[in-house]
Amino acid sequence: MAQKDNRILLLNAPRLPLEDAKLEELTGDLHDFAHAHGLVMRLATDKLSSEVCQTTPLTLLPSPFPKNVFEQAVKLQDLYALLYHTIAYDFDFLIDIHKNVVKTDEFIRNMIEILKKVKTQGLKQPITLAIQRSDYMCHKDQASAEYGLKQIEINNIASSMGAHAQRLTEWHIRILKALEVPDDVIKRAIPENKPIPMIAEALFKAWSHFNIPSAWVLVVVENVNQNQIDQRHVEYELEKLGVPMTCIIRRTLTQCYEQLSLNETSDLMIDGRPVAIVYFRAGYSPDHYPTNKEWEARERMELSTAIKTPWIGLQVANTKKTQQVLSEDGVLERFIGKPRDARDIRISFAGMWALENQDDVTLKVVQGAQKHPDAFVLKPQTEGGAALHTGDEMVQMLRELPEEERGAYILMEKLRPMIIENYLVLAKKPVTFAKAVSELGVYGYAFGAKDAPELKTAGHLLRTKPETTAMGGVAAGHAVVDTPFLYEFI
């Protein structure tokens, strides 16, 4: 799959940099387009209101991305959805692999406690829904100088930015036309990008399966949410499919604690009507559970007949720990029946190691990371783009982390994404022409009971950040939304 990166020919891609006048004109057009199409975010200074919004952080142009690597990611998505759908039902595996994580990570400990209760009481709702985005980098191998697809992480909860990415693809087609790129080139270089109809379809299937016309779609949200508009596009699409707007409700976990109850048949009730589906756009961070009340609300949901996306098994399977354990010899292969499929998934794994393991290989790698900090990153279990330990900080942590805390981290090979150039557009800031790197996410879902779920893949997101920025995350202010301009090697 991997290819040499010399003599890349980006036939017909716009020549950069653009002339100043052209840049100014196109940037102005982009802001109009963004506001006309809901490609906007709330202001950082006023995250509670949509009255005044700003253009989402974006790239002006699509970024070059190798076509074969992109296609590999798209092809893998159904396999990843099936893999995580399957792991989620293996309670004993999930409890066992997190036994060291729970010693010091209170958040995962609370999740595992709920998982154990679900295990004891049995699933009240055997149908589950995974709405997923798998994130990758196009990694340049240092020894061979070849590019290949390597996974950063999987997102089984609150996979966001799809609405922005979908709209940005429309803009990127538009700007390529404005720059007189021929239509047939645009067609080949810009793949269709429609994650939101797919996500809405998944939610609609779950709601229809519940088969009570007045049942709720409960969207679990944060108290404060700068990226509200991205979420709203999913709800509006869901209404188009036939879920009445009077059946869609948004609640924080604190409100869920106050308003949700379980009836005698384990239906999750709110305002006298059952919840068909709980769609978590929050609930992945310790901040979302400030007190025990929020955990109680989560437990009620998990012990109910509502279909949850994700359910607790799938969320526990979301951890970096699960990702690392899957990469150990023979583990992934236990969950994927076909050896060829397992091989295809395994090719996309980066090197990952458990700090607490005492085998020779791990000890050597941990020593290696202290000597060559530039080749590794250290990750806790936290979600949401907030915590990545690199450089001197990582070295110090590797040296000083107490024994009982080591299980809560994974050590990962630092990926070296290919470097591209693009214009980064941030509202009210000068447009910058930057050397940048990208992370590709591919959206998909798995819906159904334990065996033979329905699988679907549609849509993608590129997030691009200056080459020198370590962390990702658009909402966290590190990266901007982008889409790929696919090119082939000659």
For ligand ADP, which is the closer residue by CB, 54 or 318? 318
- Burial, 378: exposed, middle or buried (Cβ in 10 Å; 0-12, 13-18, 19+)? buried
Distance CA 132, CA 416 (A): 24
Give DSSP secondary structure letters for 20-73.
Answer: HHHHHHHHHHHHHHHHHTT-EEE-TT-TT--SSEEEPSEESSPEEEEHHHHHHH
Stretch that binds ligand ADP, among 43-51, 88-96, 332-340, 409-417 (CB under 6 A): 409-417
DSSP-assigned letters across all residues of 277-327: EEEESS-SSGGG--SHHHHHHHHHHHTSSSEEET-HHHHHTTSHHHHHHHT
The reply to whether 385 sits near ligand ADP by the rule CB under 6 A is yes
Stretch that binds ligand ADP, among 236-244, 248-256, 301-309, 375-383 (CB under 6 A): 375-383
Q: Are strands 352-354 and 273-280 parallel, antiparallel or unpaired?
A: unpaired
Site for ligand ADP in 228-247 (CB under 6 A): none
Taking CB under 6 A as the binding criterion, the range among 32-40, 105-113, 365-373, 385-393 that sits at the site for ligand ADP is 385-393
Enumerate residues 124-143 that contact ligand ADP by CB under 6 A: 135
Q: Is there binding between residue 267 and ligand ADP (CB under 6 A)?
A: no
Amino acid identity, residue 164? H
Q: Residue 133 catalytic?
A: yes
Say if residue 155 carries a ligand binding annotation. Answer: yes
Does the footprint of ligand ADP cover residue 350 (CB under 6 A)? Answer: yes
448: left (phi over 0), alpha (psi -120 to 50) or beta: left
Q: Assess 481 for contact with ligand ADP (CB under 6 A).
A: no
Element (H, E) at 116: helix 106-121
Active site residue 435: no
Q: Are 154 and 323 in contact (CB under 8 A)?
A: yes
- Please choose, out of 85-93, 140-148, 247-255, 407-415, the segment that lies near ligand ADP by the rule CB under 6 A: 407-415
Catalytic residue among 63, 100, 134, 155, which? 155
Kindly tell me which residue out of 26, 345, 388, 424 binds ligand ADP, with binding defined by CB under 6 A: 388
Contact between 377 and ligand ADP (CB under 6 A)? yes
Residue 222 annotated to the active site: no
Runs of H (alpha helix) within 328-420: 331-335, 339-347, 360-371, 391-400
320 as an active site residue: the answer is: yes
Q: How far is residue 407's CA from residue 375's CA, in Å, rounded to a whole number?
A: 21
The least distance separating ligand ADP from the CB of residue 477, rounded to whole angstroms, comes to 13
Residues contributing to the site for ligand ADP (CB under 6 A): 135, 152-153, 350, 377, 379, 383-386, 388, 412-415, 439, 471-472
Task: Please give the annotated binding residues, written as ranges.
Answer: 133, 153, 155, 231, 320, 383, 439, 463, 465
Task: Please give the annotated binding residues for ATP, written as ranges.
Answer: 153, 320, 439, 465
Catalytic residue numbers, as ranges: 133, 153, 155, 160, 320, 379, 383-384, 463
